[in-house]
Every structure is written in C-alpha cells, then in structure tokens.
Amino acid sequence: MRSNLPRLIPRGPTLLALGVMLGLIFPTLAELARPLMPAAIFLIVLGTLLRIDMIAVVAVIRRPSLSVFLPCVAMIACPILAGIAAHLIGLAPELALALVLASSVPPSSGTAAVARMLGLDGAVPLVVTLLSMALAPLTIPLLASWSGGLSVAPLDLALRLALLIGGAEGVALILRRHAAAALAAHGAAVDGITVAALLVFALATMAGMRSQIENDPQAAIICLALAFACNLGMQLGGVLVLPGSLRERLAVGLILGNRNVGLVWSALGTAATPRMALYFAATQLPIYIMPRLLEALLARSRKDCPVTGISGRAMSIEGNADDTI
C-alpha cells in the first residue's frame, strides 16, 4: 500500500475532480466519508507541515512580496473585497458571511501538493500557507465579526482554530524531531497520504449536497456560481498581482483561489447554517476541478514552449516524486 501512495501524486488532479463527482453521483459514499472530514483536515494540514524544507522556506521568506505582501492579500484584502462585492450585489447576509469566511481562510493545505502535481514549485504555496495559518486565529474571527451574523463568539472561533492548527503543528514538530530521516526518505508517501486525505475530504464535502440541489436548485445554482466566480476571480487576481513567469503567477493564483474552507467549516461545527454549508460545499468544486484544467493548460504550454519551474528546476507532472519541498 505504501509503495502505491506516490503513484497518486501525478494522478492527483484527476483523482481530486473524480472525488467531487463520485460524491455527487453516489450520495451514500459521501455520507460514509462525512465523519472522516475532521481527520482528513488534520492529515492535510499535518502533511503540509511535514513537507517543510527549511532551505526553500528561507529562500521564499527573504522575498517580502511573497512572505509579507501575499499572505496579507490572501488573509485580509481578499475577504474584505469579497465582503464589499457581496454588499454591492446585494447578497443575503447569511450568504455574504459565508463568502467572507470562505475567502478569509488560509490557502488550501493541499495547494503545495497540488502545485507539485502540476509541475509548479511548491515552496511558495507552502510558505504562504504556513504564514496564513499563523494569522488565521486572529484575522478570521475579526473578519467574521466585521461581516456580522455569526452565532459563534470571535474568541471561541479563534480558540477552535488555534486548537486545530496548533494540534497539527505539535504533531508535526514531534515527528520532524524524532523521525526526520524517515520523513526525508518517504516524502513522496507523505504527499500520497495528503492526496488521499484530499480525496476523502472532497467526498465528504459532497454529503447532502445532491439532496440540497434537488430540493432547492436555485440556491444551489447561486452558490455554485458564486463559488466558481470567487475562485476564478481570485486566481485571475493572483496571476495579475505579482510579476513573474506564467508558472509563478499560476502558483500565486492557486494560493489565492483555493482555500482551506474545511478549516473554518470544522471550527464552526453546528454554527454553520445549511445555506452556509451549501456554499462551503460548492467551493470545493472549483478547488478540485480547476487543477485538472490547469494541468491541461500547462501540458499545452510545455508542448508549445518548454519552460523551467520557478525554483529553477524543469519539472513535469510526472516529475521526480521524491522531490521534497
């Protein structure tokens, strides 16, 4: 089984899109995966933390545009812009709050792994994700309070987020301290486990979504349209916000567009209303479908004009699975 995990990495974009589709087509499968959502989130965050290469991290931290500007854009500017847009288009308060919350969470913990699947450098998504996680317990409750309508006290939400993130950080610290050699030797297996956890999470997020779509198709269409518009808008903004090669800008787009909505979803628990949960579930569709489209775009760009990744290494989607970030 362990030897098969690295094989998931190059097939990751297809598997993630497949997970969403399976959850919609087979609701029973999604319901079976639903109780595993918190564990999947924990594994995704843990897998991200275990794949830290301090040399690559330090190289990115030395670039303020990536280590300071980009996390602030992701954690502060994006949710504020989302809140303003929600007000301008006249969204219902409940949906507007869901939009702000989904835009205020850190980049998806699997973004670094997805970037590697696509042949992009995973160091930048990894560093921005880590720095955003450090900001999350502070910025998310403040932005939720600014948006209004949340039934959970900001301090309570901050503590839940700190516990979830801090728990994964604690386990990662222990493992890196006592099993560093094993982690270095089996880095591809860690990525494979992360992809498997992403697949389980994709399935779990579709639990109940098919019935909600059937019962209130208009609400489902609105949530899906908003989710895709928000994701694509942020990815486009990411492509334009910083200069660099196409691969650099696509990586930034992934960072801003694909968010770890499961983090705030898990922290909210029962405080997430059915409409909020519907929107949170809808956000998973572009997160898991877009990498497959980007894979096709990058494959075409490689065919037309081979390029080198932002780390200076030429990488393909089927690249060296033992490369650690």
DSSP character string of 192-216: HHHHHHHHHHHHHHTTTHHHHHHH-
| 21, 217, 221, 228, 286 from 214: Cα distances, Å | 16, 6, 11, 20, 20
Point out the least confidently predicted range of 88-92, 129-133, 253-257.
129-133
For 158-179, letters b (16+ CB in 10 Å) and e give bebbeebbeebbeebeebeeee
Q: Over the stretch 167-181, which tens digit does the pLDDT of each residue have?
A: 887 888 888 888 877
More confident residue, 250 or 309: 250
pLDDT for the residue 62: 87
More confident residue, 102 or 192: 102
Residue 321 pLDDT > 50: no
Computed on alpha carbons and rounded to an integer, the radius of gyration of the chain in Å comes to: 18
More confident residue, 164 or 8: 164
| 69, 115, 260, 324 from 65: Cα distances, Å | 5, 19, 22, 23
- pTM of the entire predicted model: 0.76
Q: What is the mean pLDDT of residues 269-295?
A: 82
Alpha-carbon span 131 to 128, nearest angstrom: 5
What band does 232 get if pLDDT is binned at 50, 70 and 90? very high
pLDDT for the residue 161: 82
Q: What is the mean pLDDT of residues 300-317?
A: 46
Point out the least confidently predicted range of 19-33, 93-107, 171-185.
171-185
Alpha-carbon span 255 to 294, nearest angstrom: 14
More confident residue, 97 or 302: 97
Q: Over the stretch 197-224, which tens digit does the pLDDT of each residue have?
A: 878 888 888 888 888 888 888 988 999 9
Q: Over the stretch 23-70, which tens digit does the pLDDT of each residue have?
A: 888 889 888 988 888 888 888 778 877 877 777 778 888 888 888 899
At residue 259, φ and ψ (nearest 5 deg) are: -115, 150
Residue 100 pLDDT > 90: yes
DSSP character string of 57-124: HHHHHT-HIIIIIHHHIIIIIHHHHHHHHHHHTT--HHHHHHHHHHHHSPBPTTHHHHHHHTTS-SHH
Q: What is the mean pLDDT of residues 15-27?
A: 80
